[in-house]
Structure 1
Amino acid sequence: MSEKYCNECGTSYGVELHHIISRKQVKPLEDCKHVFVYLCYKHHRDHKTGVHFNRKLYLKYKLQFQNYLESHFLKEFLTREEIKEVLEIKDKPLDRLLSSLILHKGKYAREDVIFKCMAYKKVTEEDFLELEEEK
């Protein structure tokens, strides 16, 4: 078993798996390795510095996943297999993920897939501008 390290500080002590998109938000992605990041207790659960309480850190990882999707879904319309290849999830979760999306000549619209994977909330420049205004 390989040792895990905190993506923020590099420690191997008390490292936990954080789901960037929670299982409650998009259950079909619960086993998608691209929504995982390893964080120590301080960066995962601490009430000041943890990703669940620190909006900047929260948005950082949301944007990281969103950028992954945008850089890998390159065509306007995607086949089921192309989506599966990028997300690296099994057939049943993939079917659940895609079940509410509209097919366009047998393909799924790139923006619909990304929006669904992001739990219907994409990270925007305005999100980061709001953080700057809070300072």
Structure 2
Amino acid sequence: MGPVATYEPHPEGAYRAARALLAEPDRPTALYCTTDFAAIAAIRVAHRLRLDVPGDLAVIGVGNTPEGEHYDPSLSTVGPVGFNEALGQIIVDRLTTRESAAGKVFDFPWQLIVRESSSPAPAAPELH
């Protein structure tokens, strides 16, 4: 495992932590961020340092947020599948029928969603 950075739980804190990690001469080639928002901050830092994502740095977040899906490059993430759609439907139901979701249990499977911010690991060199 490589270096671990902790940060204040807001976008500026995530940005500062990513900047500290990526400014090192022996910077990481991949970042696993605890939220999609922290991952987006890391991509912003990488772009400002002229690093290619995912060529120079692979980034993955957690949460499967719409912001990550529509960021450039789109964010690879681990998160619940169908959550945002279900939340939208709950809101529409509440506004149109006054039906409450109180007491309902929702079960969303989590999965890895591979998008543009990550790439396969480079192939190992052939040994002769």
Scaled by the length of structure 2, the TM-score of the pair is 0.29
Higher RCO, 1 vs 2 (CA within 8 Å, ≥6 residues apart): 1
Q: Which has the higher helix share?
A: 1
TM-score normalized with structure 1 length: 0.28
Larger radius of gyration: 2
